Amino acid sequence: MINSENEIFFSESFPFWKALSSDEKKLINNNTELKLYKAGSTIHDSTECTGVLLIKSGELRVYILSPEGREVTLYRLGSGATCLLTASCILKNITFSVMVDAEVDSEVFLISSSAFKELKNKNIQVESFSNDIINCHFSETMWAMEQILFTSFDKRLAFFLLEQSEEKKTETLNFTHEYIAKNLGSAREVVSRMLKYFQNEGIVSLARGSIIIKDRKKLEELK
């Protein structure tokens, strides 16, 4: 159910919300629940049709698994973002399977797949919004694949460290090598070797469970 406070959030997150009829809003209201996911928990796996996700707070990581079981991060979603690939069963000609985990403790609105499909089929604005979201997700996915296929690992690692530093507004990143490997679609050993090289070059310093950026200019030159 959506209370008055959350309806404001819906109207800010869904550009079509104010144009919905009272019956259409009621359809979504009766088929939505607010769920809390702890950091590290799996919200969606590729075997399910979980539903449409609207992130109220926190951060989700969308990724795929290679045949060898390696995680390849495609993109992240923060507050106000919508994930439709978790309801791929209602999308025409979409067979792309993803996994979704909570990066931090997150509050997520879960909208029933069948209710959203009914709304999308009746309302052209909802259908247009859905198409825009899917196009955006596939654009981000293609970018991630291009990085893995065509960009050297030192550049990808430099970009990741700078991006995370800017996002978190700190030069000290409390990440394990395993965490970075999952985000860059690589192996922990590869991450460790490259970070060791960065440290030898004076770009970063390494401590247990953390990476400290020492020379931002050199890191910028690498990316």
pLDDT digits (tens, 9 = 90+) for 122-143: 999 999 999 999 999 989 989 8
Token pair listed for 60: 């989700």
Q: What is the pLDDT of residue 5?
A: 78
- pTM of the predicted model as reported, rounded to 2 decimal places: 0.80
Architecture in CATH for domain 4-149:
Sandwich (2.60)
CA count, 13 A, side-chain hemisphere, 26 = 3
Taken as a whole, the chain contains a residue count of 223
Domain pair 4-149 / 151-222, same fold: no
What is d(CA 36, CA 45) in angstroms, rounded to the nearest whole number? 17
Multiple choice CATH, 151-222, 3.40.50.12780, 3.40.30.10, 1.20.1270.10, 1.10.10.10: 1.10.10.10
Domain borders along the chain are: 4-149, 151-222
Q: What is the pLDDT of residue 93?
A: 65
Q: What is the pLDDT of residue 39?
A: 94
Q: What pLDDT band is residue 190 in, cutting at 50, 70 and 90? A: very high
Q: Which residues lie across from 44 on neighbouring strands?
A: 100
Q: What is the pLDDT of residue 66?
A: 78
Token pair listed for 163: 């991006």
Between the alpha carbon of residue 46 and those of residues 62, 64, 71, 89, 118, the distances in Å are 11, 9, 13, 11, 23
Q: Which residues lie across from 76 on neighbouring strands?
A: 61
What letter represents residue 163's amino acid? E
Q: What is the pLDDT of residue 48?
A: 81
User: Which residues touch 196 (CB under 8 Å, ≥6 apart)?
Assistant: 206
